[in-house]
């Protein structure tokens, strides 16, 4: 069904005590099916974080037309690959008034979702994007699991089945700062500045206060969540609430992902791998300020350069796009 979405049309719906909020940013034609929307009725539906940072995202191995990889830059840059990272194309930017950030992305069963600030971009083919907005806090990252998207950020906790109508899950709280989220072992785990949060459904949260350097990235694998960040901090938790270990390495970590049975933490010219996030091996690698992990491929970003390999040490330059990028994630079907 094709739905004409009008500029800045505000959508409010109430069901089961939850307020679902979304508004379209641009006058564009949406071709996303509206059935199954979480009470929003705004003409978009659907819904992982095959978030390259680890964790099963429940995409179910569906063979579809979504790209295998998506990379984003802060200011309205989207690049996609349909051949497992070998060739990339910059996608025409959707029409949005003013500059909008691109912070995090996730894949659901039938769509890819990009969040940043107060806007959400939704696509069912990776090439055409619909834009929506809300006022539920500044979004920095998004993950998919248990049938819904969950987005977090600066004063933001929200969930949605379609990434169009978002349910506010802050419960009156706003003094928290999440930077990254992942899904694994049936739960979402989010990390950031002085906070660790976990939720099964994105609605009810267990919040744990932390002290120390910021955590920038989190991944799931081998029965544990591993978060890394400033000053080489590595935090390990098996359930998102109780801390198994909290240590410092002698390097700054930009991020972490889970690749072929090992966590890969990276920063600058150094990457470290570990099966348990306690004992690490260090490698000199091509410089990368972002890595994404797929089922059998790893992709790195250095400014506008994309590198690819089937092993961490075999990454080779594949393409320069001429626009700066900061995040890449695997968005192909998971078998």
Classify residue 68: in a domain, yes or no.
yes
Is there a domain that residue 335 lies in?
no
Instruction: Spell out the residues 6+ positions from residue 49 whose beta carbon is closer than 8 angstroms to its own.
Output: 55, 57, 106, 107, 142, 143, 144, 145, 181, 182, 183, 329
Range(s) of the domain holding residue 171: 3-330
Tokens of 46: 């659907």
Beta strand 69-73 with 178-184 is unpaired
Across the range 66-79, mean pLDDT stands at 91
What is the number of domains present in the chain? 1
pLDDT in tens, 152-162: 999 999 999 99
For 227-261, how does the pLDDT look when each residue is reduced to its tens digit (9 = 90+)? 999 999 999 999 999 999 999 988 888 999 999 99
For residues 187 and 200, is the Cβ–Cβ distance under 8 A?
Answer: yes
Calculate the CA dihedral of residues 195, 231, 238, 279 and round it to 10 degrees.
Answer: -170
Residue 47 has pLDDT above 60, yes or no: no
pLDDT tens readout for residues 118-159: 999 999 999 999 999 999 999 999 999 999 999 999 999 999
Which of 109, 186, 183, 184 is CA-nearest to residue 152? 183
- Specify if 279 maps to a domain: yes
Q: Please give the share of the chain, as a percent, with pLDDT higher than 90.
A: 65
More confident residue, 58 or 181: 181
pLDDT digits (tens, 9 = 90+) for 261-279: 999 999 877 889 999 999 9
3-state SS of the chain: helix, strand, coil percent to 5?
0, 50, 50
| Prediction pTM value | 0.83
The residue count of the chain comes to: 335
Q: Identify the CATH number of the domain in which residue 36 sits.
A: 2.130.10.10
User: Per-residue pLDDT tens for 285-311?
Assistant: 776 778 999 999 999 998 899 999 999
Retrieve residue 253's tokens: 């970590």
Task: Tell me how far apart the alpha carbons of residues 139 and 253 are, in angstroms, rounded to a whole number.
Answer: 22
Is residue 226 domain-resident? Answer: yes
Q: How far is CA 297 from CA 9, 143, 200, in A?
A: 41, 20, 29
3-state class (DSSP) for residue 258 = strand
Facing residues of 152 across strands? 141, 157
pLDDT of 165 strictly over 90: yes
Tokens of 258: 């889970």
């Amino acid at each position: 069904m094709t739905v004409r979405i009008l500029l800045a049309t505000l959508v409010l719906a109430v069901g089961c005590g939850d307020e679902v909020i979304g508004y379209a940013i641009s006058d564009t034609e949406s071709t996303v099916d509206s059935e199954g929307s979480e009470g929003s009725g705004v003409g978009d539906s659907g819904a992982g974080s095959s978030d390259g940072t680890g964790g099963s995202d429940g995409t179910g191995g569906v063979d579809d037309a979504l790209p295998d990889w998506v990379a984003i830059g802060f200011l309205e840059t989207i690049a996609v690959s349909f051949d497992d990272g070998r060739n990339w194309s910059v996608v025409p930017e959707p029409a949005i008034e003013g500059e909008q950030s691109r912070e995090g992305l996730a894949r659901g069963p039938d769509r890819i979702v990009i969040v940043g600030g107060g806007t959400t971009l939704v696509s069912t083919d990776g090439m055409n994007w619909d834009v929506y907005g809300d006022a539920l806090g500044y979004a920095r990252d998004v993950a998919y699991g248990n049938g819904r998207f969950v987005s977090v950020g600066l004063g933001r906790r929200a969930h949605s089945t379609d990434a169009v109508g978002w349910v506010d899950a802050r419960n009156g709280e706003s003094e928290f700062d999440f930077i990254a989220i992942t899904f694994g072992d049936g739960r979402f785990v989010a990390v950031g500045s002085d906070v660790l949060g976990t939720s099964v459904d994105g609605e009810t949260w267990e919040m744990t206060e932390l002290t120390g350097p910021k955590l920038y990235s989190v991944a799931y694998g081998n029965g544990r969540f591993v978060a890394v960040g400033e000053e080489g901090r590595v935090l390990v938790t098996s359930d998102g609430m109780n801390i198994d270990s909290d240590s410092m390495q002698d390097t700054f970590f930009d991020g972490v992902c889970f690749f072929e049975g090992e966590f890969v933490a990276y920063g600058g010219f150094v990457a470290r791998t570990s099966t348990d996030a306690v004992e690490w091996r260090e490698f000199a690698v091509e410089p990368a300020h972002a890595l994404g992990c797929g089922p059998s491929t790893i992709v790195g970003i250095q400014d506008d350069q994309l590198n690819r390999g089937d092993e961490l040490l075999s990454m080779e330059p594949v393409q320069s796009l001429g626009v700066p990028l900061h995040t890449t994630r695997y968005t192909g079907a998971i078998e």
